[in-house]
Structure 1
Amino acid sequence: MNRKEMYEDVSSLLLLIPFFAAALYALYLWAVEGFSFYLPEQVYLGVTRNPGVFLLGILAIILSTVMEVSSEERARRSERVLLLSKRLQKLAAASFVLAIITAWYANGFSADLSGTGADLFAGRYTIVFPALLVLLSFLIVTPINLRSLAQVKTVAIILLLAVPVVIDEVGKRNAPLGLGGSLLLTILAAAMLSWEGKKKPGFSPAQ
């Protein structure tokens, strides 16, 4: 096995860490609570509000991305970065959908989705984690320079950084309002970053 193959294997394993870490910690908390047919709400919140699980997941994703890029030949690195960007966006979508399904499961798959929405927001990192993955997916393909920092990208990044603030400050007072606000900020920021990248046909991925 050469160096590139080893890096790719390790990188693939790192991508699974956020999901495995959350699952293992959930099983541990569930065992402490006592296993039941439905996932206890306390277990869901215990995992999704744990900063250690969140940081471990983010660091694993970043390390995986760095390893993938560094293992590629410089001549093909731009193409690789574009593929990694799309993969990060898919991971963000998968993470968010999984968080919704798990929150729904913790609420007994109730037709009343207010409890699911409240838990989704109370978890905080269920929104922040995919938002940061989307941010990273755009940052690795968008060149950073003084001019761009003074334009759309800066506003988009500020919007994404505001997501956890909205979740914490607004969500704890009004869960639906906090959920709507954070989703709006995330969608708006992603749209702005996408528009900024397409606006310049000559942009080249960061090396």
Structure 2
Amino acid sequence: METRGKGPIGRPRGFDADEALEKAMRVFWEQGYEGASLTDLTGAMGITRTSMYAAFGNKEDLFRKALERYEEGPASYVARALREPTAREVATAVLRGAVQVSTRPDCPSGCLGVQGSLAAGETGRSVRDLLAEWREGGVDRLRDRFRQAVDDGDLPPGTDPLHIARYLMTFANGIAVQAVGGATREELQRVADTALRSWPPA
């Protein structure tokens, strides 16, 4: 993802676009799309509204870029998990990643993709739909990986790849919600371990 677009020739932007986007991501992560005001965002980013619009577009554009950064950064554990050699190891890595990202001491609790716009009014409808699509994309990637596992004999014949993908994502999303409510890393890891006990045997 390219975030360092060039300003007009002879008019240097005067701020680090990557750093500003990182700060915007954290504001959205902590406050949600509608909860994050332009004042909150520009204050955290250390720029004016004019500079924000010039560099990132409007608030929704900025959120989309922040979500991309989140997927490439904190949420990149999902892409890594999909490369694990067995379906069970994929599931273990996904839940472990959800626990760790949702409870990082240096970041907001929970998951930007879950809390970003669960409850949104009309002004946040497009972002709510964007995040629903984003979460469903995660389910689709897991489904494809588990379909491969069935074909490889790593999961039992007749296993429904979509069902177990949604099962896993439901737990991962629930972990994020519980983290916002104050559940500790240790408590949530125990929940993840419990979920894995019912994983289909090979």
Structure-2-length-normalised TM-score: 0.40
Structure-1-length-normalised TM-score: 0.39
| Bigger helix fraction | 1
